[in-house]
Structure 1
Amino acid sequence: MTFSEITSTLTARFGLELQANTQNLQPYLTVPVSQLVEICQFLRDDDRLFFDLLACVTAIDNGLEADTMEVIYNLTSIPYEHNLMLKVVVPRKTAGNQLPSVPSVAHIWRTADWHEREAFDLVGIQFEGHPDLRRILLPTDWVGYPLRTDYQEQDQYHGIKTK
């Protein structure tokens, strides 16, 4: 299936006007965070699409001016040999300084488990419903999220100079 056919299928199924970006080398769809799980479940389970592989989940901090973060999902249908990139955009700041939140898709694709943990660990995205959301690359007592644009590196970590 082509990108436009996939977009049309999703638009018809969910009654949404999805934001499609075809200006990049790899086009992508921006989907509402509230429908992420439902859309992902459909992409995996529908026989015409069968996106059986979640190849990557990554997160981007768009900075203080944009005040948003993005979570990007790269999907592949191995038997049909087609790919799709999905994106959700969430507010960078939330009430009470809680981390931005996106629902987990680890129950749909098992590979999301470690990818979501990495995005949590480095960018500070909370994945609601994740089976074991904890740091995966940094020590459990590390302060902050190093890939956020406002990250302040500590001068020392357990007596070791970091700068």
Structure 2
Amino acid sequence: MNVKMPVLEFLNEIAGSGGGVEIAAAGVEPVLLVTAGRLKAILKRLKEDERCCFDFLSSLTAVEYPAYFEVVYHLYSLPLGHRATVKTRVAKDDPQVPSIADLWPTANFQEREVYDLLGVVFTGHPGLTRILLPEGFDGHPLRKDYKLPLRLETR
């Protein structure tokens, strides 16, 4: 099933509104590539506009590439039954994106997990602390440049 026309029209409207947004793929699940500076505003529109109504953040993760991180948001509309993926890229030397925990409360846990394991900082997060690893853990173990210590202390 392809994306319903009102949703695709809305996504095209967003992509044409001021730059920083492109539709990277369309079809069953459209993929939007958004600059970090416009990310939160675009996600807010996708959630609140009745043509999309992306009321459910099904997952938030990140992927490491040689020069950047790509933070990936999988959205779903419960009332309308469609999906979309939104991606943003941030430099590896300063990986910062705005927190969306105020838009979708489930993002609180997911942002903390991405921060803990990959080191992406979610600015404005209400409590960005480690969630899986102990406080004081050195580094972010899912990064490609992470060096596994020869000995790990356990409790």
TM-score, L = length of structure 2: 0.88
Residue 22 (structure 2) pairs with residue 19 (structure 1): yes
After superposition, the Cα gap between the structure-2 partners of 1:17 and 1:116, relative to the gap in structure 1 and judged at 3 Å, is closer
C-alpha separation in 1, matches of 2:65 and 2:27 = 17
Question: Any conservation in 2 of the 1:7–1:18 contact (CA below 8 Å)?
Answer: no
Equivalent positions of 1:139-150 (< 5 A) are 139-150=134-145
Equivalent positions of 1:116-127 (< 5 A) are 116-127=111-122
Report the 3-state secondary structure (helix = DSSP H, G, I; strand = E; otherwise coil) of the residue aligned with 2:63: strand
1:91-129 Cα distance to aligned partner (Å, 9 max, x none): 1113xxxxx110000000001000000100111000000
Report the 3-state secondary structure (helix = DSSP H, G, I; strand = E; otherwise coil) of the residue aligned with 1:156: coil
After superposition, the Cα gap between the structure-2 partners of 1:4 and 1:103, relative to the gap in structure 1 and judged at 3 Å, is same
C-alpha separation in 1, matches of 2:40 and 2:20 = 17
Query: Would you identify which runs of 4 or more consecutive aligned residues in structure 1 move more than 6 Å?
Result: none
Residue 155 (structure 2) pairs with residue 151 (structure 1): no
Residue 99 (structure 2) pairs with residue 104 (structure 1): yes
Q: Which runs of 5+ in 1 are unaligned?
A: 95-99
Residue 89 (structure 2) pairs with residue 71 (structure 1): no
TM-score, L = length of structure 1: 0.84
Quote the offset at 1:19 in angstroms.
2.4
1:39-76 Cα distance to aligned partner (Å, 9 max, x none): 1111111111111001110011102xxx1111000001
C-alpha separation in 2, matches of 1:71 and 1:11 = 18
Number of matched pairs? 151
Question: Any conservation in 2 of the 1:60–1:71 contact (CA below 8 Å)?
Answer: yes
Give the RMSD, CA atoms, in angstroms: 2.1
Quote the offset at 1:18 in angstroms.
2.6
Residue 11 (structure 2) pairs with residue 7 (structure 1): yes
